[in-house]
Amino acid sequence: MTAEKNMLKQAYNNFAEQRERTELEPWKREERESFLNRVKSERRESLLEIGAGTGRDSLYFSRQGLDVTAVDLSEEMVRLCTEKGLRARLMDFSELDFPEGTFDTVYALNCLLHVPKAKLDGVLQEIKRVLKPGGLFFCGLYGGEDSEGIWDKDAYEPKRFFAMYEDDRVVAAYTRQFELLDFHTVDMGQGRPHFQSLLLRK
């Protein structure tokens, strides 16, 4: 494991319990529900959540009748997922340990922003590989301006690495591997990066 990934894992291990206690913002509920409606309208059944964190979204999808698998790089996050009764595995999303075409859908909320830009294509190819033909992929990120590196103002220790994109660049990066079904942004307020929502198809 690279030093960067090791620091990221440690940061999320250290803050797992704090994240467990954090309330879910209304706009995140809307994004999640909108994706679920699309998944159900297409009669999709299996979902892989990468960077699943505490398992809050995986639990929501599971309770809505989907066959959910949650993976995360952090041992503490996987523990919290497992305690919720989820099928959870410790895994790096750049090396997904699943056969080709395993899942109908992949859900990635605010995790792929930790991928260095030079390595994004490889990660997206892995996601594409484990998706069934025509499968759906939801990706949520923070961005709106171009940057890459350790975030000096990060409250987490060790401080985390973030890669952010301008809107047109993030669309260009993801449509190298997937078909774009929807792209929109959510304003986070003055001086903050906005949220970028991508709905994609293999």
What is the full per-residue pLDDT of the chain (202 aa) written as tens digits? 888 899 999 999 999 999 999 999 999 999 999 999 999 999 999 999 999 999 999 999 999 999 999 999 999 999 999 999 999 999 999 999 999 999 999 999 999 999 999 999 999 999 999 999 999 999 999 999 999 999 998 999 999 999 999 999 999 999 999 999 999 999 999 889 999 999 999 9
Q: Phi/psi class of residue 156: alpha, beta or left (left: φ > 0; alpha: ψ in -120 to 50)?
A: beta
H or E element in which residue 182 lies: strand 179-186
Dihedral angle sign, alpha carbons of residues 96, 29, 10, 7 = positive
Backbone phi, then psi, for 72, in 5-degree steps? Answer: -155, 155
Token pair in block for residue 137:
């992929």
Q: Which residues contact 52 (CB under 8 A, 6 or more apart)?
A: 58, 70, 71, 72, 77, 81, 86, 88
Domain of 47, in residue numbers? 3-201
Beta-bridge partners for 57: none
Per-position DSSP letters for 66-102, written without gaps between them: -EEEEEES-HHHHHHHHHTT-EEEE--TTS--S-TT-
Cβ proximity of 45 and 104 under 8 Å: yes
How many domains does the chain divide into? 1
What CATH number should be reported for the domain holding residue 12?
3.40.50.150
The predicted model scores a pTM of 0.97
